[in-house]
Amino acid sequence: MPEKSATLADTLLRQDEILSELLFVVVKQREALKEGRLSELQDLMSDLRRVSVRCQAIETKRMRVSGEVARKLGCDAVVSQIVGLLPPEESVIVEASAKKLMETVNRLKIEMSILSRLMNEARSLNEMLITEWRRLGEKMISPGAMGTFDTRI
């Protein structure tokens, strides 16, 4: 069982590394959106897709490995249950790996929430601008508006 718990701890740490990369991309997206660097957002979206694929792959592996360990221990594939049934020297390593991963997950959730709010604000602002442009455009082409601009220099 030590090899399986070590594999689980390694998988948790690898997942933490990949989610840290995702966190980095999300922070860069937030900064680019906040600072109006829209051209940079397209490259960051490509980075996000690339890292997301790796996130899905490591999540699948983590589920598989934790399931194997849980079956051998006769419990659910939940870290708290697994840690409670492992020998102390193994449980400490798995628990530390899981804790590190959860810290990164929590930071990622916060950044995703901030990014989501910024995107909603940007969308609302864009909708307001489009509405105003349409309103101005309608005024400029309405019959009563003809000749209201003096083009003489």
Predicted confidence pLDDT, tens digits, the chain (153 residues): 678 899 999 999 999 999 999 999 999 998 998 888 888 988 999 999 999 999 999 999 999 999 999 999 999 999 999 999 999 999 999 999 999 999 999 999 999 999 888 888 878 888 888 888 888 877 776 655 555 555 566
Report angle CA 2, 83, 93 to the nearest 5 degrees.
60
Whole-angstrom Cα distance, residue 149 to residue 147? 6
Query: Among all chains, which residue has been given the structure tokens 């659910």?
Result: 76
Q: Which residues contact 1 (CB under 8 A, 6 or more apart)?
A: 69, 72, 73, 86, 90
User: pTM for this structure?
Assistant: 0.77
Complete domains list, the chain, with CATH: 2-142 (1.20.58.300)
CB 98 within 8 A of CB 109: no
